């Protein structure tokens, strides 16, 4: 058969078009970050979440291939001057192959780590795992959903003052409440969790979540960019009141992912673009406004936030390099509007 007459032109066009984003990525990788950063080597391409462990001077990271790792930061180390090393902490065979460790939370009062576990590709498994930080033995593994249940994606976790955990489901837009001992207490559902009828407005639902010191939850809905306040947290059904936090500036939190409180009145939101937003409320989170943004390495995709020395540090999903992947933790310095 004679070759397609335009095959050379098509091939040339393909390589030309492909070269443009590759060149952009290479350029972005070579661009020196304007803020403090921690670069670390890992064996995995994907890292969903990282949290700063002040007591041990290290970051704890969730492994997309399952498990937990640590990134020790030497006391004398200056950010951006050396490449740090990820070390394995937890490999839990009971979680099962193909399941990923996603959002995690350090719970210092109880000396434990909580991590959301999910079957990202199939949506057929969701769990909350808890580990003792003194010996990394598992405290509990609570199954939240399994084969035959509604499709799910356990994404992030928050904990209240009594040790109850709240896990967001980014697929079904619900919140699981798990007691301090690992017992599944209830599911929290609300029509506010699925505010739009269009399927694409619920493609990624409830995502980052925090427990506010005044006793309520804040969670972001990724596809709509809404921030929700959940009050009246009780064990019986329908105890909660769900309200949308109104953005007086009309900006919202489009593509919002992991979140963290800088203070009772300030919230940091990681996102695909911009990399980070600083949100402020002066009325108990009835209303809020975006007071600053940070644009970091967008091609790396910021997915979580932690607070180190009072400053927000963004963790990025994608690593680069071979055979060792390099990942970035970047301090977010916000530009005011």
For 68-106, the pLDDT digits (tens) are 999 999 987 666 668 999 999 999 999 988 999 999 999
Task: Collect all residues with Cβ–Cβ distance below 8 Å to 104 and sequence separation of at least 6.
Answer: 49, 51, 60, 61, 62, 68, 113, 114, 115, 116, 157
Q: How would you classify the pairing of strands 266-271 and 256-263?
A: antiparallel
Tell me the three state secondary structure of residue 45: coil
The 10s digit of each residue's pLDDT in 253-284 is: 999 999 999 999 999 999 999 999 999 999 99
pLDDT for 27 beyond 90: no
Q: Which of 116, 186, 185, 192 is nearest to 154 (CA)?
A: 116
Confidence at residue 335, expressed as pLDDT on a 0 to 100 scale: 95
In the chain, what are the domain boundaries? 1-31, 36-336
**Residue 127: which pLDDT band, with cuts at 50, 70 and 90?**
very high
- Mean pLDDT score across all residues of the chain: 90
Between CA 211 and CA 218 the distance in angstroms is 6
Q: What is the CB neighbour count within 10 angstroms for residue 43?
A: 13
Tell me the three state secondary structure of residue 22: helix
The region that residue 310 occupies, defined by phi over 0 for left and psi between -120 and 50 for alpha, beta otherwise, is left
Confidence at residue 10, expressed as pLDDT on a 0 to 100 scale: 46
DSSP string, 224-269: TTEEEEEE---SSTT--EEEEPEETTS---TTEEEEEEEETTEEEE
The 10s digit of each residue's pLDDT in 287-315 is: 999 999 999 999 999 999 999 999 999 99
pTM comes to 0.89
Distances (CA, A) of 258 to 76, 181, 220, 309: 29, 25, 8, 19
Kindly state the helix (H) or strand (E) to which residue 165 belongs, with its residue range.
strand 165-169
In CATH terms, the fold of domain 36-336 is Neuraminidase (2.120.10)
DSSP string, 187-214: EE--GGGS--SSGGGGSS-EEEEEE-TT
Confidence at residue 274, expressed as pLDDT on a 0 to 100 scale: 96
Give the residue-averaged pLDDT of 211-237. 95
Distances (CA, A) of 45 to 26, 122, 191, 256, 272: 17, 19, 36, 22, 17
Between CA 292 and CA 276 the distance in angstroms is 8
**Residue 128: which pLDDT band, with cuts at 50, 70 and 90?**
very high
Burial grade of 30 (CB within 10 A; 0-12, 13-18, 19 or more): exposed
Kindly state the helix (H) or strand (E) to which residue 15 belongs, with its residue range.
helix 7-30
pLDDT for 34 beyond 80: no
In the structure encoding, which two tokens stand for residue 15, read together? Answer: 């390589």
Give the residue-averaged pLDDT of 244-249. 97
């Amino acid at each position: 058969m004679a070759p397609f007459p335009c095959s050379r032109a098509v091939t040339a066009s393909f390589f030309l078009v492909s070269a443009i984003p590759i060149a952009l990525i290479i350029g972005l990788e070579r661009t020196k970050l304007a803020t403090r950063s921690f670069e670390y080597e890992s064996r995995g391409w994907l890292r969903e979440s990282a949290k700063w462990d002040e007591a041990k001077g290290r970051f704890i990271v969730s492994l997309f291939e399952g498990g937990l790792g640590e990134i020790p930061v030497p006391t004398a180390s200056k950010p951006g001057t050396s490449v740090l090393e990820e070390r394995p902490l937890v490999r839990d065979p009971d979680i099962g192959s193909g399941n990923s460790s996603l959002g995690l939370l350090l719970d210092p009062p109880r000396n434990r780590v909580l991590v959301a576990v999910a079957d990202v590709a199939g949506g057929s498994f969701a769990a909350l795992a808890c580990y003792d930080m003194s010996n990394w033995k598992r405290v509990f593994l609570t199954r939240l959903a399994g084969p035959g249940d509604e499709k799910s994606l356990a994404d992030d976790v928050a904990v209240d003052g009594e040790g109850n955990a709240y896990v967001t489901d980014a697929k079904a837009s619900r919140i699981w409440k798990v007691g301090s001992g690992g017992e599944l207490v209830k599911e929290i559902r609300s029509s506010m969790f699925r505010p739009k009828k269009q399927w694409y407005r619920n493609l990624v639902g409830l995502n980052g979540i925090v427990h506010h010191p005044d006793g309520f939850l804040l969670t972001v809905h990724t596809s709509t960019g809404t921030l929700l306040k959940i009050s009246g947290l009780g064990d019986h059904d329908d105890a909660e009141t769900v309200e949308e936090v109104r953005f007086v500036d009309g900006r919202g939190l489009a593509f919002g992912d992991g979140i963290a409180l800088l203070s009772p009145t300030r919230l940091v939101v990681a996102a695909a673009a911009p990399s980070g937003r600083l949100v402020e409320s002066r009325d108990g989170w009835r209303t809020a406004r975006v007071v600053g943004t940070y644009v970091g390495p967008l091609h790396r995709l910021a997915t979580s936030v932690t607070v180190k020395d009072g400053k927000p540090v963004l963790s990025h999903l994608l690593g680069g390099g071979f055979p060792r992947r390099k990942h970035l933790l970047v301090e977010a310095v916000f530009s005011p509007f």
